[in-house]
Amino acid sequence: MGQKNIGHQSGADLEDYSLGRLDSSRIPAFEQHLLICQKCRTKLNAIEPYNFVHYTLDGPFYSRITKLRTGNFLARHWGRTLEGGKEFRTRKGATAYLLRTFPRIFPEHVCTPRCGVTGESAEG
């Protein structure tokens, strides 16, 4: 292991964190590292090209695309009582899926100024 990589998060851990699969006992230290490490935040943002939150009557509802280490893209929605998603070969397909399915889940939702891009994502 090279000295320059000590302390940085691995691609596998960044992917697991993005997908909500990182072991819960590791999350506090992982998130603390992200607060101080621009390199790891940049790597995380690079695999999360779409990261959006809607504030619905059911509470916050998230939509995210994660670029997987396989090169595919996982588009997923989740909230307090619902989680689901689908894998795509292209970012365009993943984005279209999120934009098509959210209004089907919450047809009554009207965005407010609180709804929007989370973190440092480039798209919303």
Confidence of residue 7 (pLDDT cuts 50, 70, 90): confident
Residues with Cβ within 8 Å of 110's Cβ and at least 6 positions away in sequence, in order, are none
Report phi then psi at 110, rounded to 5: -125, 125
The string of pLDDT tens digits covering residues 111-124 is 999 999 986 544 43
Global model pTM greater than 0.75: yes
Domain boundaries, given as residue ranges, for the chain = 1-47, 48-124
Assess contact for 46 and 39: CB atoms under 8 A: no
- Report how far residue 27's alpha carbon sits from residue 58's, in angstroms, rounded to the nearest whole number: 25
The string of pLDDT tens digits covering residues 28-70 is 999 999 999 999 999 999 999 999 999 999 999 999 999 999 9
For residue 52, give the nearest of 94, 93, 21, 104 by alpha carbon: 94
Assess contact for 66 and 46: CB atoms under 8 A: no
- Spatial strand order of the sheet with 50-56 comes to 83-88, 73-78, 59-67, 50-56, 116-117
Determine the residue type at 73: F
